[in-house]
Structure 1
Amino acid sequence: MNTSNTHNTADRPLAGRHAVVTGANGGIGEAICQALAAQGATITLLGLEGPGLEACCARLPGEGHGVAVADITDHETVTGVMREAAAARGPVALLANNAGVARSAPLAKTSPAQWQMMINVNLTGTFNCVHAALPDMLEAGWGRIINIASTAGLLGYAYVAPYCAAKHGVVGLTRALALEVAQRGITVNAVCPGYTDTPLLAGAVDNIVAKTGRSVEEARAELAAGNPQGRLVKPAEVANAVTWLCLPGADAIHGQSIAVAGGEVM
Structure 2
Amino acid sequence: MQRYFITPEQFGEDSVVIGGEDARHIAKVMRGKPGDKLIVSDGVSREALAEITEIGPGEVTAAVVELLAMTHEPRVQITVAQSLPKGDKLETVIQKCTEIGAVAFVPFLSERTIVQYDERKEGKRLERWRKICKEAAEQAHRNIVPEVGQPRSWKQLLQSFGEYDAVYFCYEKEEGLQLRSAVAPWLNGPGADKAGRVMVVVGPEGGFSLEECAAAEAAGAVSVGLGRRILRCETAGMVACACILYESGEMGEA
Name the larger-Rg structure.
Answer: 2
* TM-score, length of structure 2 as denominator length: 0.36
Q: Which has the higher helix share?
A: 1
- Structure holding more strand per residue: 2
